[in-house]
Amino acid sequence: MSPSVLQRIASGDSAAVRDCIEQYGALVWSLARRLSRSPSDAEDATQEIFLDIWRSAGRFDAAQGSDKVFIAMIARRRLIDRLRKTSAEPPMDPVETLEAVAWADPGTASETSFEAEQATRALAELRPEQRQVLELGLLHGLTQSEIATRLQMPLGTVKSFMRRGLIRVREYMNVDAQRVLSEG
Amino acid sequence: MSERGPQDQPDEAMVDLLIKQVTDGLSPAEQRALDVLDSAVVSAHLRDFERAAAAIALAGSANASPLPPDLAQQVARQAEQHFGAVAGADKPIDLAAARSAPAARAPAAAPRSGAYGWLAAAACLVLAVAAWNRPPPQAPTAQVSPPPAAVPLPAVRPAPPTPAEERAALLAKADSLKVTFGATKDPAAHGVSGDVVWDPATQRGFMRLVGLAPNDPSMHQYQLWIFDGGRDKRYPVDGGVFDIPANATEVVLPIRAALPVLSPQAFAVTIEKPGGVVVSGRQHVVALGAAG
């Protein structure tokens, strides 16, 4: 198996940085735009995320998942940290614009990544209002309290939906990972 | 993905904190509460929840817009600074070596002890590649301009086909779908015509618009919407924000749907605030076409 772009960066591959920006720039930019308070904030966040990627490439473990999910994890950590520090500022998107993103149907996400396919399969089992909570929290960066306000839903319900959704996706990923390991 | 015993299962309070860390981030008090718990168990479960959240984020980020060229260049420069610092501040970037480096992806790993001049090349090449896919400013999901000719290095790829050429090729495919745009009653729709060519298999498509007025991107932008048969009609799929350049009479624009479109039923163009919206108020629908 050829090394991933992160493994190549860690080993000093001279083309890996360019390849990483090419392959994952859109992913990082997409996450940054959604989870930032302003366009300029998204640009700053993107640069910080790539700096985190350069610093963290050596810690990537292919046995724990794809490089794409590793990069998404790094990006989300940075973006959540930035959001938390600027939580007093209003979100970039107005209230009425935060309800449209629908989830990919199971079977169509495998081109994105193995993990995305697992996630969409797990999400397909959730009720629409549960998916909406995950969408607002994980794709738009709203806090659980903000979601409760937006959806006029008790905070406890929001927490419960978020909890069940993440646990369900986690179960799918771990089961599949164990199956892969056992078959390997 | 190590096996965990019952003693490694997190309790309710830990799960709540972990999920809050993954979604909202923790307050200092919450972080202190997490810090006193078993660090090994916390780390393992936190990683699992972070992976789950990242996977969901990936599932919702299909067909993402490319990194803006200027930002890609900044990122590449930053990488140059970062790795240059690692290599030693006294080592200058070897630009001559960078220019002579092979343009194609290196097939084998270069030794870490090598010069970091390649990072300068990376900066230039990223700019070149990103410029190849350059979207218009503030309209990252559509492009109307041909790629700029001036890049700092010799071209590393053949000249890409124009959107019009790509549209023609897509139209020639047997399984592509063509939908004709018609004007609406909106005053801004007067004289507007065009069509959409969409390939369900590759999820690629192009819209051709004639007679749509040039817009000032700082005031408003156009946005394409795709009504998918498998989705709630209230929430069509975002097909991209775009601009009509001054003096343009006909434009061909690539469609970059934010989500997979399984069964397109209709396409609509609206006028929205700069940057577009997630849900359109549909106050100004300037082009509309229904499939079949």
Count structural domains, chain A.
2
- CA angle (B75 as vertex; A12, A33 as ends), nearest 5: 125
Average pLDDT over residues B114-138: 41
Candidates A3, A55, A166; nearest CB to B53? A166
Average pLDDT over residues B56-80: 83
Q: What is the pLDDT of residue A88?
A: 54
Interface contact A14-B110, CB threshold 8 A: yes
**Which residues in A lie closer than 8 A to residue B113 (C-beta atoms)?**
12
| Domain end call among A90, A125, A148 | A90
A125 and chain B in contact, CB less than 8 A: no
B171, pLDDT greater than 70: yes
pLDDT digits (tens, 9 = 90+) for B235-277: 788 888 888 988 888 899 989 777 778 789 999 999 988 777 7
Interface contact A72-B105, CB threshold 8 A: no
Q: Which of B272, B269, B141 is nearest to B219 (CA)?
A: B272
Residues of chain A with pLDDT under 50: 90-106, 108-110, 180-181, 183-184
Give the residue extent of every domain in chain B: 6-59, 69-132, 163-290
On whether both A7 and A57 belong to a single domain, the answer is yes
CA dist A63 and B63 (Å) reads 26
Q: Which of B230, B214, B82, B132 is nearest to A54 (CA)?
A: B82
CATH number at residue A111: 1.10.10.10
Structure tokens at B211: 């007679």
Question: Do the Cβ atoms of B147 and B127 come closer than 8 Å?
Answer: no
| Domain end call among A50, A65, A90 | A90
On whether both A119 and A176 belong to a single domain, the answer is yes
On whether both A162 and A86 belong to a single domain, the answer is no
On whether both A141 and A97 belong to a single domain, the answer is yes
On whether both A80 and A97 belong to a single domain, the answer is no
B195, pLDDT greater than 90: yes
On whether both A84 and A137 belong to a single domain, the answer is no
Print the domain residue range for A55.
1-90
A48 and chain B in contact, CB less than 8 A: no
CA dist A111 and B221 (Å) reads 30
On whether both A9 and A61 belong to a single domain, the answer is yes
B59 DSSP 8-state letter: H
| Domain end call among A38, A73, A90 | A90
A60 and chain B in contact, CB less than 8 A: no
Lateral strand order in the sheet of B177-181: B177-181, B193-199, B204-210, B250-255
Q: What is the pLDDT of residue B159?
A: 55
CATH number at residue A9: 1.10.1740.10
CA dist A39 and A43 (Å) reads 6
On whether both A83 and A97 belong to a single domain, the answer is no
Q: Which helix (H) or strand (E) is B265 found in, with range?
A: strand B264-272
On whether both A182 and A103 belong to a single domain, the answer is yes
Q: What is the pTM for the complete model shown?
A: 0.54
Q: Give the ipTM of the model, two decimals please.
A: 0.85
Q: What is the pLDDT of residue B28?
A: 81
Q: What is the pLDDT of residue A160?
A: 93
Question: Do the Cβ atoms of B163 and B252 come closer than 8 Å?
Answer: yes
Interface contact A50-B79, CB threshold 8 A: yes
> Distance, in angstroms, between A1 CA and closest chain B CA?
13
Question: Do the Cβ atoms of A161 and A130 come closer than 8 Å?
Answer: yes
Instruction: Kindly report which listed range (B22-31, B81-90, B101-110, B218-227) carries the lowest average pLDDT score.
Output: B101-110
A67 and chain B in contact, CB less than 8 A: no
DSSP string, A23-82: HHHHHHHHHHHHTSSSHHHHHHHHHHHHHHHHHHGGG--GGG--HHHHHHHHHHHHHHHH
CA dist B193 and A179 (Å) reads 53
CA dist B124 and B132 (Å) reads 12
Q: What is the pLDDT of residue A154?
A: 94
Q: Which of A92, A87, A10, A3 is nearest to A54 (CA)?
A: A10
**Which residues in A lie closer than 8 A to residue B103 (C-beta atoms)?**
none
Average pLDDT over residues B105-111: 31
Q: Which of A21, A45, A20, A19 is nearest to A32 (CA)?
A: A45
Question: Do the Cβ atoms of A122 and A134 come closer than 8 Å?
Answer: no
- Other beta carbons less than 10 A from residue B27's beta carbon: 11
Average pLDDT over residues B145-155: 34
